[in-house]
């Protein structure tokens, strides 16, 4: 596309040294035959059992005091022997098995990280039937490849894909997952060219509200959809149905499936809302400032917990950062101190508790919605200095909240 190319050259002046491509993931629905579903179920089963075995082995090493030194390579080196002993594992592509061991390694590293930071983490858990949903071909082209709308998976077969959008960039990893309504494939792609939008010359600050989802420094309000609360009644009902049935029975599994579908719907509605809101902001502004919030700490506060989790603020920020990066825009985090206390008119610090929803300044007489005042402060703080941290580019790593 020569047009896009010209565009990015023009944008390059403005965004300077920033990257011209991003990493992204494309998801597509699979349309497997019943036989292929069985084959994928088998792979999942084998992967899960390998995961649990590898975890068990690490546990033994840990008991002997070797736990910390144990590496992925030690376990990966034992794979050929394992295959010789249990021919079942030969049904699974070898790189998929290696990826399972990498997952164990990752879980373990996270576990030790929490130990060293003084937290009291639970030991990594063994994965039950309903907790292991995906397997990964770590190298595109090695066991998994797409050709004309058909995904060819080694040891499974050729599965048609619902290609609702074009894959761009260079596919790196292929993950197959089972979710409530079927099977999906996701391609993690590198070097996906960004599609910069023309400059608008505008910038804003945004603040998360309690009653509204967010408010901009221009006073624009995005209301909270509260999908979760609306759907909660339905979810509760589905949950009750699960708990009434005999665990592990056919009817129980059916109820679990129905419940999972309800959760999935809420999740999708929420993500759709996030994407649309982020897109609107990214189209309107060159730079968006937001508060560098520790969402994890806020969720621990029980009064706010519901609202914050509902709004999925952290998930939204990840999406916003990614969309901004894609469009050649900037999302910057500014320090979160006193943004709701200070007066955006004169800078006077006006202390107020969370229940006070309106900012009233005794020195300049400014009367304004609390969150709008905060959004204006965030914008001013972003404009003022280099203290802002560019969120785009590292947003996913920094902002993903474990609570959401």
| Residue (68 or 384) nearer to Zn ion, CB | 384
Phi, psi values for residue 234, rounded to 5°: -60, -40
Task: Say if CB 137 and CB 144 are below 8 A apart.
Answer: yes
Q: How far is the CB of 345 from Zn ion (least distance, A)?
A: 4
- Entry field: residues in the chain: 404
Query: Does the annotation mark 371 as catalytic?
Result: yes
Query: Does the annotation mark 207 as catalytic?
Result: yes
Q: How far is the CB of 204 from Zn ion (least distance, A)?
A: 21
Q: How far is the CB of 365 from Zn ion (least distance, A)?
A: 7
Task: Say if CB 373 and CB 343 are below 8 A apart.
Answer: yes
| Residue (101 or 361) nearer to Zn ion, CB | 361
In a 13 Å sphere around the CA of 156, the CA atoms on its Cβ side amount to: 30
Q: How far is the CB of 277 from Zn ion (least distance, A)?
A: 30
| Residue (159 or 378) nearer to Zn ion, CB | 378
For residues 197 and 329, give the distance between their C-alpha atoms in angstroms, rounded to a whole number. 8
25 pairs with which residues across the strands? Answer: 188
For residues 290 and 74, give the distance between their C-alpha atoms in angstroms, rounded to a whole number. 44
| Residue (293 or 343) nearer to Zn ion, CB | 343
Torsion (CA) 35, 41, 42, 43 in degrees, nearest 10: 110
| Residue (286 or 342) nearer to Zn ion, CB | 342
Given 82, 366, 396, 403, the residue binding Zn ion (CB under 5 A)? 366
Q: How far is the CB of 216 from Zn ion (least distance, A)?
A: 20
Does position 281 interact with Zn ion (CB under 5 A)? The reply is no
Q: How far is the CB of 342 from Zn ion (least distance, A)?
A: 9
Residues touching Zn ion, count (CB under 5 A)? 7
Find how far residue 224's CA is from the centre of its chain.
20
Which listed residue (291, 310, 325, 369) is catalytic? 291
Alpha helix (H) residue ranges in 64-185: 72-77, 79-85, 94-116
Task: Say if CB 133 and CB 178 are below 8 A apart.
Answer: yes
The interface with Zn ion within residues 322-361 (CB under 5 A) comprises: 343, 345-346, 348, 361
Tokens representing 144?
A: 């998994």
| Residue (327 or 361) nearer to Zn ion, CB | 361
| Residue (94 or 341) nearer to Zn ion, CB | 341
Give the Cβ contact number of residue 310 at 10 Å.
18
Give the Cβ contact number of residue 1 at 10 Å.
8
**125-143 exposure pattern, b = at least 16 Cβ within 10 A, e = fewer:** eebeeeebbbbbbbebeeb
For the residues of 80-96, what is the DSSP string, one character each?
A: HHHHHH-GGGGGS-HHH
Which listed residue (286, 369, 371, 372) is catalytic? 371
For residues 266 and 261, give the distance between their C-alpha atoms in angstroms, rounded to a whole number. 9
Which listed residue (207, 286, 310, 372) is catalytic? 207
Q: How far is the CB of 366 from Zn ion (least distance, A)?
A: 5
Q: Is 367 exposed, middle or buried (0-12, 13-18, 19+ CB in 10 A)?
A: exposed
- Stretches 95-103, 112-120, 193-201, 363-371: which one binds Zn ion (CB under 5 A)? 363-371
| Residue (173 or 366) nearer to Zn ion, CB | 366
Give the Cβ contact number of residue 34 at 10 Å.
7
For residues 111 and 167, give the distance between their C-alpha atoms in angstroms, rounded to a whole number. 35
Tokens representing 169?
A: 């960039």
Instruction: Kindly list the residues in this chain that would bind Zn ion in the complex (CB under 5 A).
Output: 343, 345-346, 348, 361, 364, 366
Active site residues: 207, 291, 371
């Amino acid at each position: 596309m020569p047009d896009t190319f010209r565009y990015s050259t023009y944008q390059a002046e403005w965004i300077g040294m920033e990257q011209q491509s991003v990493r992204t993931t494309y998801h597509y629905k699979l349309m497997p035959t019943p036989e292929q579903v069985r084959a994928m179920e088998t792979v999942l089963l084998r992967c899960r059992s390998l995961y649990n075995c590898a975890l068990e082995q690490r546990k033994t090493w840990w008991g002997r005091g070797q736990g910390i030194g144990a590496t992925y390579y030690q376990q990966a080196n034992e794979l050929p022997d394992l295959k010789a002993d249990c021919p079942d594992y030969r049904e699974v592509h070898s790189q998929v098995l290696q990826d399972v061991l990498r997952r164990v390694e990752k879980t373990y590293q996270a576990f030790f990280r929490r130990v060293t930071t003084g937290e009291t983490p639970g030991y990594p858990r063994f994965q039950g039937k309903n907790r292991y949903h995906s397997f990964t071909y770590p190298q595109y082209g090695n066991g998994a490849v797409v050709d004309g709308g058909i995904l060819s998976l080694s040891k499974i077969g050729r599965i048609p894909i619902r290609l609702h959008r074009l894959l761009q960039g260079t596919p790196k990893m292929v993950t197959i997952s089972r979710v409530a309504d079927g099977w999906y494939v996701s391609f993690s792609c590198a070097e996906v060219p960004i599609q910069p939008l023309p400059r608008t010359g505008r910038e804003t600050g945004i603040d998360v509200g309690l009653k509204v989802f967010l408010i901009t420094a221009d006073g624009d309000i995005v209301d909270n959809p509260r999908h979760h609360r609306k759907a909660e009644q339905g979810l509760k009902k589905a949950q009750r149905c699960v708990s009434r049935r005999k665990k592990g029975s056919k009817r129980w599994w059916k109820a679990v499936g129905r419940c999972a579908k309800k959760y999935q719907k809420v999740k999708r509605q929420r993500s759709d809302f996030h994407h649309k809101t982020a897109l609107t902001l990214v189209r309107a502004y060159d730079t968006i400032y937001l508060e560098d919030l520790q969402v994890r700490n806020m969720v621990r506060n029980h009064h706010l917990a519901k609202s914050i989790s509902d709004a999925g603020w952290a998930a939204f920020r990840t999406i916003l950062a990614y969309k901004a990066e894609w469009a050649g825009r900037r999302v910057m985090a500014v320090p979160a101190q006193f943004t709701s206390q200070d007066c955006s008119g004169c800078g006077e610090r006006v202390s107020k508790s969370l229940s006070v929803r309106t900012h009233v300044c005794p020195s300049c007489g400014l009367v304004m919605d609390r969150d709008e005042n905060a959004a204006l402060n965030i914008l001013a703080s972003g404009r003022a200095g280099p203290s802002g941290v560019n969120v785009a580019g590292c947003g996913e790593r920094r902002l993903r909240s474990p609570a959401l």
